[in-house]
Every structure is written in structure tokens, then in C-alpha cells.
Amino acid sequence: SQQGEEDPQALSIQEGENATMNCSYKTSINNLQWYRQNSGRGLVHLILIRSNEREKHSGRLRVTLDTSKKSSSLLITASRAADTASYFCATSRSEKLVFGKGTKLTVNP
Amino acid sequence: DGGITQSPKYLFRKEGQNVTLSCEQNLNHDAMYWYRQDPGQGLRLIYYSQIVNDFQKGDIAEGYSVSREKKESFPLTVTSAQKNPTAFYLCASSIGQGIAQPQHFGDGTRLSIL
């Protein structure tokens, strides 16, 4: 069953702009994780935010979590062509992760 | 370098044939996972194992089987009972049991029907 749903499904921006992706989920969670997938490759873990955290930063990435709205956002600042990839949120209530369908980000040089 | 190795990168299956996808990790992780990814879709969990000699079904286990005889290895067999096996298969591992920790992924095996 799909827990997280990303929005938008696709996003196209120019290099240097910021990219924001959103994730909504339905049930309570222990943590929420964001992953990146380059075309034809495996997923790479980006950041984990726990249910008692509201914001987390890692380099050019900023993740927020609003448990009252059951939503999270991933902001990539000053995007680069190399950021072109699909981005997935994954929610955890137990030992398993449940992935959304992803946002496909294209950064045009 | 530590990581997860999946092989082969591409695999073709004939009708009525079982095929086995290999997944090996040298990260000393306890937990391992198999996912299926269809075009434009997220990942769906097939099977997972939190410890050697033990594994559990995920959301779409029908037509698949696994074994976990060694900590480093978690092979997936796609049986002839799986009628729509064409997909991208991803193996992952994480440090341990309990609440899901960050997962490390291999680069996948793309399975097609001949």
C-alpha cells in the first residue's frame, strides 16, 4: 500500500532556481526519509527526519515535517543540472519503509 | 569500498522458467530488502529479512521466493508463477532491526520476458 504521495509528479526548472517537492501521508509515522534516484540506478538516501523534528538541513537540502498536516517538503536550493533525478519520500511506522511514486525533477542548464 | 552488488544487470526469462537475482552486501548490515519498481512508479516491497535464516513477506510476495542463509547474501527467485515479472528489481540493506533506518541500495536488475 502506498503511504506517501509526492507532489508534483514532475517539475522542470532552470539551473540556479530552487526546487520544492511535497509529500503527504495518511497514518502516523516514526520517521520520514527522502531518497534520490538517477535514471536506471538504485536509490540514494538523502535525509531522515524523525516525527518529533520539524526541520532538518543537509548542504543544499532542507526538509520540513508537519505531523499535524501529515506532510513533508524537500527544498533543494540553487539547483544544478546534476540534481536532475527522481525524488521519493518514504515513511516508516515499523521496520519497513513505504515509498511514494516520486517527483521527477529536471534541472535545465 | 562497502556497498551492495546486484547481478546480473539485465536478465531475460523464458516462459515457465525460474530465474534468480543475486544480492550481496559487505556493509555488515543485518536487514535486507527486495523491491520491485515498475515504470513511473514507486517501490513495492517483495520480501525482507531482518536476520539470517528468517524473512517475511512484503506487499507483493506472490510468485517470488527468497533465502537468507548468510548475512551477506539475499537472493531473490522469480518463479514461473509470477505472470508479470517484467520490472526493475532493487535490493537494499540497513543496519538493523526495529524502526526503519536509512537503506543502502544496489544498482538494480532489469528483468524482461523473452
How confident is the model at residue B23, as a pLDDT? 98
- pLDDT tens digits for range A66-107: 999 999 999 999 999 999 999 999 998 788 899 999 999 999
- pLDDT tens digits for range A15-44: 999 999 999 999 999 999 999 999 999 999
How confident is the model at residue A95, as a pLDDT? 82
> Cβ–Cβ of A43/B98 closer than 8 Å?
no
How confident is the model at residue A1, as a pLDDT? 47
Read off the pLDDT band of A3 (50, 70, 90): low
Whether A2 has a pLDDT exceeding 60, the answer reads no
Q: Are A33 and A48 in contact (CB under 8 A)?
A: yes
- What SS3 string covers chain B? CCCEEEECCEEEECCCCCEEEEEEECCCCCEEEEEEECCCCCEEEEEEEEECCEEEECCCCCCEEECCCECCECCEEECCCCCCCCEEEEEEEECCCCCCCCCEECCCEEEEEC
DSSP-assigned letter for residue A68 = T
Whether residue B4 lies within 8 A of chain A, CB to CB, comes out as yes
Distance CA A41, CA A45 (A): 13
Whether residue B75 lies within 8 A of chain A, CB to CB, comes out as no
How confident is the model at residue B1, as a pLDDT? 63
> Cβ–Cβ of A95/B4 closer than 8 Å?
no
Q: Which three cell numbers stand for residue B112?
A: 524482461
- pLDDT tens digits for range A36-58: 999 999 999 999 999 999 999 99
How confident is the model at residue B99, as a pLDDT? 76
How confident is the model at residue B94, as a pLDDT? 95
> Cβ–Cβ of A43/B59 closer than 8 Å?
no
> Cβ–Cβ of B103/A94 closer than 8 Å?
no
Residue among B66, B54, B63, B62 nearest B91 (CA): B66
Distance CA B61, CA B71 (A): 21
Provide the CA B24 distance to its chain's centre, in angstroms. 10
Render each residue's pLDDT in chain B as its tens digit; 114 residues. 679 999 999 999 888 899 999 999 999 999 999 999 998 888 999 999 999 999 999 999 999 999 999 999 999 999 998 989 999 999 999 997 677 899 999 999 999 988
Chain A residues whose C-beta is within 8 A of a chain B C-beta are 1-2, 30-31, 33, 40-45, 48, 88, 90, 92, 94-102
> Cβ–Cβ of B43/A88 closer than 8 Å?
yes
Residue among B6, B10, B11 nearest B92 (CA): B6
pLDDT: which is higher, A8 or B1: A8
Residues from chain B contacting residue A101 (CB–CB below 8 Å): 40-42
> Cβ–Cβ of A99/B40 closer than 8 Å?
no
